[in-house]
Structures are given as structure tokens and as C-alpha cells.
Chain A
Amino acid sequence: MFRKRKSTGIGNRVERSTSQKNIPITLEVLRERIDNMDDAKIIEHQTQNNKLFVLIYVGTLIDDARVNEAVIEPLQGCVNEKISDCISVSEITDISTLKEAEKKLMLGSVLIFDTIENQLFAVNLKNTTGRGIETSETETILYGAKDSFTENLEQNITLIRRRLPLTSLKSEKFTVGSQTETKIILMYIEGLTNPDFISIAREKIESIDYDQILDSSQLAAFMEDHNHSMFPQFQQTDRPDVCAFALGAGKVTILVDNTPFALNAPISFFHLFQSPEDYINRWIVASFLRILRYFSFVLSLLMVPIYVALTTHHYQMIPLQILFVLVDTRSRLPLTPFWESLLMLLTLEVIKEASLRMPTKSGQMLGVIGGIVVGQASVEAGFASQVLIVIVGISAIASFLVPNYLINKANTLIQFIILILASFLGIMGIFMGIILLFVHLNALTSLRQPYLAPVAPFYGKDWLDLFIRGPLVWMKTRPEALHPLQKWRYSRRR
């Protein structure tokens, strides 16, 4: 039943588009199409030899000053037989179908209708206004490049091309979204990136059939191998240097128009813990910081569940001195450790989410009020123990060390799951949760490549840039897990 209905729908769409193709392009049809569009303009002019031409454009999409300069003035002084010969703008296209005319009009072109020849041309005068290149706010670093992507696709490509001036750096263009007609650019280095990744990415982009693709994360959702996972399977970044590094290692980069975030793939779970600053700091310092990030991730995930497990099931595991403190603080509490922790964690999440949504200054204020007032008050009111407040606080701060925001959010959810398991099965429950997490990660793939590489599957050489960031001079080869066509980073060794 559903199939039948679906096929009827497609049939309708095909029929409509065929009929639209057959409609002859006349001024009346074009007028009808832009009816009720306040910003659409139709202007008539004459050339020097009295030829009438009509300009049709959407004022808000094009550069008004350039219409005069590049189209109206040259055409008014035109003495040639063909109108198109008078325009010196490089991007001038003959339009043959109404659909094409509509598309060009809505993407920022001026349509020129030659009434004598009954011909239609499009001149691209797209308004390129947008914000300038600014510093990245999501991946801030102290040293290193400060520029970040903007919403302008061409500009974003330029930022990458400046870093990788190679003719082998290819950029394939796709259009997705039946309503949004979003431009997508797939970038890769030919002869280096594994062709499988390119074909998989190409195949996935081409198979997208959706009305709106407004953001790169939406695109990622359609391209991911596992839609139901909490873990991102594409690295989202607004830093061109990160993209250049990824491309150079043998990954593909996907840029989406009107989005300042690019997608890099294939990635592994461990990529989410890497920061651009890792490659700027001295390797020993960078390695320490990276280990600290992993440690913090584990800490943020397990500290509260361990508290619940120990206080609920395994008092014998707590050293005597700490046990005295715990017994003292917990003796006056009406709630069980699980409910106490759950409520505190939920409160913390509410505060975190609220401070994100509030304006910057109010957000900071909220953080202070939430942290100090709610924390202190809940202890005094007897809802939570001081020990738990300390643990929740450390856990929250530790979670901020993970550079990837998406994994940070996933972390919170996993924490709740492990908390529930800990309340039922104590320390055993915690490890069951961790095993489930590993099993899940082990089964995940990014562009059909294992998500836990280079641990499982095991690629020994890649460990030099995994938990530590080894010295760059030692990293002679590109990551094995990416199966690059050019193994060596040194050109002389190739």
C-alpha cells in the first residue's frame, strides 16, 4: 500500500517537472512566477538601437550597484545585434527552460529578456555580503592560525586552498535539498586519499533525497552509517587548518554552503579528543594534555557512578578515613545515593543548558548562582552531601576538557546510563556499562571504517598519535588506519 502511494508521488513529481520544462518562457510566465514577491523587480530598458530588454531580478539577492554598472549601462549603450555581446561579465548563461530560469533567479542572477530575439540570459551578480573571517569560537586556541570558516562556501574553499596549493586537491560540487538547493563541496587529494572513501562519500551525498539541508550537521545525519548512535561519525570543525591537516592525512572534507562548519571523515573515537593545539605545543606537553583529556573523560563519566556504587553496595571498598567522612555527611540525608546523585546531575544539566541559552553575561551569572547557591543550599537543606557536591563539581569541570561538544553531550547521557547500572549492580554494573560502551563503539563505523581504529582494528604505528602526540619527526607515515595511497609524509622516502 505504502509503496504504491510512494510511486504515485514520484510519478506526480516527474509529471510536474516535465510539464514545467515544456512551458515556453515568456515575459508573462516570468511575471506570474514572481507575483507577490515584493523584492522582485522587473525593469524595462532600451538599447541605443531601440531594442527593448527586460531585467528581472530579486533585489535582496543581488548587488544593486553592480546591476547598473555591469548590466544596465553596457546595455543602454549597446549597438550590437545580440544583447549578450554587450555584457562583459564573465558568467553569462543562456536559459532554455523555465525551471532553470527560476533557479538562476533565486540564486542571485539577473535575468535579461531580449524581446526581439525572444531569448533569455542570466548574469550572475550574487550578493556576497556576509560576515568576515573571524576567530573560531568553538575551537579556540592560544597559538596557531586564528581564521575560521564563514557561511560563504567559496571563501571557505579559498581558506583551504591557500593552505594546500595543490592541483591534486579536488573539489567536486553537488546540490542537495529539493527546497534549499544547497551546494556541497567534496574535497580530497587525488592520489593520496583512498578512492573508497571518495566513492562512498560521493555515493552517500548523491543518495540524499530531502527537502531542506540547512546545515552540515543535517548533512552528516544523512551520511552517517549509524543514525541511532550518540557518537558523531563526522568531525565537525570550523577551522581551515584542521581540514587541511585532515586532507593531508588522507581524509575527505565536505563543505556545505551557508554553514561555517566543515565535515571531515573517516574519523575515529580518538579524533574527538584531539585539539588543533596538540600539533602546536611541544610534544611532551601536548601528550600530557591529551592524556589529561582522556582521563577527564573517564573521570566525568565514572566519578558519580562510582560514588553511587560504593555508597550503595561496596562500603568495604572505601578506605576507613574516607568512610568516616562519608558516614558523617550521609547520615542526615533522606535520599538514597542514587536519587541524590540523579537529582544533582539533573540540576547541573539544567544549569549548564540554561547558561548556554542565556546571553553571555547572564549566562556567566547563572553559572555562579547555580554553582554556589544551588550547591550550597542543597547541602544545607539536607538534599545532598558535601562529598557528592565535590564529586559532581569535579565531574562537570572534567567534562569541559573534551574538545568536542557533541561527545560532551553524549558523555552526559552515558553517565546517566552507567549511574542506573551502578545503582543496581554496583561496581559490576559500572563495568558492564563500560563494556556496552566499548561494544557499541567497536561496532560503529565512519565512512564504513572502524570507529575504534587504531585500537580495534590494531594499527601499531598510529599509536604514536593516539594517546600521546609523538614528535612530528617520528611520524614519518600517514595514519595506516586511513589506508592512504601515499604512505610516507617525507617526499624523499616516497
Chain B
Amino acid sequence: MSGFSLFEKTSSFNGVYITLMVNRMQMLYFVIIMPVFLIYPYMIWIIIIVGLLSQINIFMLSKWFNSNYASRGYEGFAELFGERSVRLLSFIGLGFILLKLTVITLGYVEVTQHFIFPSLNTNWMILFILLICWYVCSHGMTPTIRFVVIAFLSTAWMFLLLFNFLFQPFNSIHDLFPLLPYEWTMKSWKAVVFIFSALSGPEYLVLLAPWFNTRKKVLKYMTIGNVFTIFEYVFLFIASLFFFGPHYLEENRFPMMEMMRYLESPVFERIDMILISVYLVNFVFAISIFMLLFYGATRIALKRTKDQTTKSGFAVCCSIVSICLFINNELLWKKATNQNILLELEIWAGALTYLLIPLFLFISLRRKGRV
């Protein structure tokens, strides 16, 4: 093994990893704030319908995984689109990756500040999280992908804690009505875009295709991940509707976390603090993957794919991400009151990437097939 080879394929992963990655990448920051954007009970249908739309995207992505281009990574893309176009796409992709990285990191940091350390300077928290992610990334792509199992096992059970909220004596079935909308407003459309954006993430897996050895049943594995996510979203939304009711729901900034504050334990009073801290595992995994993708995309954009990965190159990329995070935190995130520009941008950007990437790949494959 060479000295510092971040993208060396030391082992390949089976379909279970695809399931876990699809699910965990869809369960990031947006799941925490999801009820605030949905509010009305009929939005349960939006989750389900957008989930089905997401399934179409998953189908298109699975076609890419089944193609001969997928396993060849960069060479596959270059053959399909041409080197120049791939470099251009990588350059554009850098912005999207950076935006996603920024929003999930700053969003999580804001949650920790709100619930655990109200007086802490968030820059310190960003620094600590980034240091952990650098450490994860420094081991390379293979261990980082393998880390998804730990991320899943550490966090996937959390929604079960809210199961109790479905059966509280104060719950009223009327909180789940109306299940059909009286009117369809701009807010409803925004909810659609939000959920579509929240379910985004699997489109980045096309960049990790060389690390997966499953070709045949990839659709099945991706579908399981997607269905599990939709189930979690629906469950959490119903639980929050029962707990807060639609009228009080929009008054909360982080309804999921607020619900967890009410969990009781004989040993600790504030379970939410522990759960927020544990959820860091999922964020560390996702941020690390995106940081590695950022470095990979930079290498492609700068035409350095043939060269060995270097510590200095990786350090420069990490520094760019860090600086970007600190600046965005100071200038945009902290000052945001009613409307957070970065969050709005990410909602649209996430939806756009999740719509266009699978579609673009699918059409390209079909066209290539005809030629």
C-alpha cells in the first residue's frame, strides 16, 4: 500500500452498505427541522408521494450502477461525457458539495448550541467536528464507507424512542386531520421541494460506485434504504403532529429535539443532550464522505486524476472547506433570523441535484445505448 492513498480500493462493499448509505445520507439535518416546513397533517401524503418520486430517481440511479461505466469511476464518466465535460461538471459539483457540507455542519452545530451549549462560540464546535472528520478522511475512502455501519447502528434506533409519543393519553386523532388539503399554497409547494431535497443524498453514491461490488440487486438495496427513510419521516412527522399539534408545531425551531427533551430516564434528566451528541456519528460520517468527494472533485477539476493523492492537497481542500464554514457561519448562519439564505439555497440545490443527476445519467446511458 502506498503512503497516502485516499482513494485506493482496498476492499469492496456489498449491497447492505448501499442500503445503509442511502438511508443515512437522507437522514441528516433536514430530518431535524422537517416538521417546521410541513406543519399540516395532509403533508403526510407529500412525504409519501415525494418518497415515490424519490424511488423513480433510485431506479434511474440503479441503472447507472448496473452499467459498465459505473465500476470504472472517473474513467467511466470520462468515456460517457468526455474529459472536458467531466471536469466542468466536477467544478460545478464542488459548489453543490460545499453547500451541502456547510448546511449540514452549521445546522447540526446550531442544534448543539441551542440544546447543549447556549453560550459556546459555534466556531469552536465547527473546528472540533472538522478535526474529527479530517481524521476519518485521512484513513481513505474504504474505511470511511465502512464507517456507515457504525453510523447506522449508533443512530438508526433513535426514532424508536419517540414511539411512546404515539400512545400518550393527551393525543387526539383530530390532530391528524385534515388529511386532504383545503387549499394548495406556495407553502405547500415549498414543502414538496423541501422533502425532495431532504431525500437527496443517494445521487452522490454514483461517485462511489467503484467501491461497491453489487451490480444485480442494487435497485433492491437502494429501495430498502429509501423505504426505510420514508417510513422514518412519516413516523416522526406523525409523532410530532400528535405531540405538538399542527398549530403549535410551527412555533418550534427544532420540534424533533424538543420532543426528545420530554423523554424520561431514572439516571439522566436530559436525554436529548445525549441523543444529540450520539447523532454526531451520522454527521461525522456524511461530512467525511462529502469532504473526500470535495477533494476528489477538485482533483478532477484540476486535471490531477492520474497523480497520487497528497497530504498537502488534501490539507488545502480541508482548509478551504473550513474557511468556507467559518465565514458562512459568521456572515450568514449566525445572522439569519427569519430566513436563512444558506438553508433556502440548500433546499433548492438538494432538490436540483437529486432531480438532475439521476435524470442526466439515465438519459446519457440510453443515448449511448442507442448509438
Contacts and interface: CB of A to CB of B under 8 A. Distances in A.
Interface of A: 313-314, 316-319, 425-428, 430-432, 435-436, 438-439, 442-443, 450, 452, 455-458
Contacts of A426: 116-117
Contact of A442 (B128, B132, B146): B146
Contacts of A431: 274, 277-278, 280-281
A482 to B, nearest CB: 14
Contact of A425 (B128, B270, B281): B128
**5 tightest A-B CB contacts, nearest first:** A456-B149, A431-B277, A443-B139, A443-B143, A317-B270
Given A431-B280, A435-B280, A316 B270 contact: yes
A435 B139 CA distance: 14
Contacts of A457: 11, 13, 146, 149
A35 B280 CA distance: 69
A59 to B, nearest CB: 50
B112 interface: yes
Given A428-B280, A439-B136, A450 B270 contact: no
A442 B11 contact: no
How big is chain B's contact interface, by range? 20 to 34
Nearest to B140: A443
A313 B284 CA distance: 23
Summarize B's interface: helix, strand, loop or mixed. helix
B277 A442 contact: no
Contacts of A456: 146-150
Contacts of B278: 431
Contacts of A318: 268-269
Contact of B150 (A313, A314, A428, A455): A455
Given A428-B117, A431-B280, A317 B273 contact: yes
Contacts of A438: 147, 150, 281
Contacts of A427: 116, 273-274, 277
Contacts of A314: 116, 270, 273
A318 B265 CA distance: 10
Nearest to B281: A435
A426 B116 CA distance: 9
A432 B132 contact: yes
Interface in B262-295: 266-270, 273-274, 277-278, 280-281, 284
B16 interface: yes
A314 B270 CA distance: 9
B45 to A, nearest CB: 35
Nearest to A428: B277
A432 B268 CA distance: 19
Contact of B128 (A317, A430, A432): A432
Contacts of A428: 112, 116-117, 125, 277, 280
Given A442-B150, A456-B147, A430 B273 contact: no
A442 B269 contact: no
B88 interface: no
Contacts of B117: 313, 425-426, 428
Contacts of B266: 319
Nearest to A457: B146
A11 to B, nearest CB: 28
Contact of A316 (B17, B150, B269): B269
A426 B124 CA distance: 14
B153 interface: yes
A319 B269 contact: yes
B277 A436 contact: no
Contacts of A435: 132, 280-281, 284
A442 B147 contact: yes
Nearest to A433: B132
Given A435-B280, A450-B11, 7 more contacts: A316-B270, A317-B268, A428-B277, A428-B280, A435-B132, A435-B284, A438-B281
B153 A455 contact: yes
B135 interface: yes
Nearest to A441: B150
B191 to A, nearest CB: 32
Nearest to A425: B128
Contacts of B270: 314, 316-317
10 contacts: A317-B270, A426-B116, A431-B274, A435-B280, A439-B147, A442-B143, A443-B143, A455-B150, A456-B147, A456-B148
Contacts of A313: 117
A431 B125 CA distance: 13
B270 to A, nearest CB: 5
B147 A430 contact: no
A430 B299 CA distance: 35
A442 B139 CA distance: 9
A436 B150 contact: no
B269 A430 contact: no
B237 to A, nearest CB: 27
B277 to A, nearest CB: 4
A50 to B, nearest CB: 67
Contacts of B274: 427, 431
Contacts of A432: 128, 132, 280
Contacts of B284: 435, 439
Interface string B140-179: 0001001111100100000000000000000000000000
A435 B315 CA distance: 21
A432 B117 CA distance: 15
Contacts of B146: 442, 450, 452, 456-457
A461 to B, nearest CB: 13
Contact of A319 (B125, B139, B150, B267): B267
Interface string B108-130: 00001000110000000100100
Nearest to B136: A439
A436 B132 contact: yes
Contact of B149 (A430, A436, A458): A458
Contacts of B149: 455-458
A190 B270 CA distance: 56
**Interface-centre pick from B125, B148, B153, B284 (highest chain A CB count, 10 A):** B284
Nearest to B274: A427
A425 B129 CA distance: 12
A317 B269 contact: yes
**Interface-centre pick from B148, B266, B273, B281 (highest chain A CB count, 10 A):** B273
